[in-house]
Amino acid sequence: MPPLAGKIAWITGAGTGIGRATALALAAAGAKVALTGRTLATLEQTSSMVRAEGGIALIAPADVTDPEAVAAAHEVVVTRLGDPHILVNNAGWNETKRHWKDLTPESVQRLVAGNLTAPFLVTLAVLPAMRARRDGVLIHIASVSATTVFLPSGPVYTAAKYGARAMSQTLNAEEGIHGIRSICINPGEVVTPILDKRPTKPTPEQLASMLQPEDIAAAVLFCATLPPRAVVTDLTLMPTDASNWRVDATAIAQRT
């Protein structure tokens, strides 16, 4: 029997990148997947891919920074599939003008909403049923920027992801007694559409050394299929040849 047979997984940011790869991985493991994001066309593409592999997918579009939209999407998921056993808080974004010299109050609000407020809102939606069931898995896709200062990410994205990681830790501290497990996955550079927002686009050579969405999806699946007694509270996943270490490592290797 597939390890997630009978489970319902709700994935945000499911239209592209890590969210799409995660939907495919969880569906292949037997879960029914609910797909949320802002763009209906990309959600439909993910849904078609899941169904082509024999999986069950439900589309519940929403802007997850909007409390009313989150509540409406949650109602669709519960009505059509049931209360989620697994939540993957993957939605998040960045802006091209992301550094201190370019920030505005409006851009700060957008980035905090997309990367910190949103996971709080979606988590709040699923917690009551998870408590009642005394079982639930919350997986938050943060960033290596939640563990260290990675300058290309910018200060607001970094601060918000630190906050999301702290949010996950408090969930384990308060909700573990209810059988709820919270996992924060902190990927290094991943080839996803968010790279299009970078002020300087990565070169093909740089892209070739980065993680792929399927790598993160594999980590999500591992965390989601552990026995209820076990939780990976924090997982950092880096490219083997990470760009932030490459210059210094190359200089060390070239010393005589």
Is 162 assigned a catalytic role? no
Q: Given the residues 36, 94, 127, 157, select the one marked as catalytic.
A: 157
- Can you spell out the DSSP letters for the chain? --TTTT-EEEEESTTSHHHHHHHHHHHHTT-EEEEE-S-HHHHHHHHHHHHHTT--EEE----TT-HHHHHHHHHHHHHHT-S-SEEEE------SS-STTT--HHHHHHHHIIIIIHHHHHHHHHHHHHHHHT-EEEEEE--GGGTS--GGG-HHHHHHHHHHHHHHHHHHHHHGGGTEEEEEEEE-SB-SGGGGGSSSPPPHHHHHTSB-HHHHHHHHHHHHTS-TT----EEEE--SS-HHHHHHHHHHHH--
Q: Catalytic positions, please?
A: 157
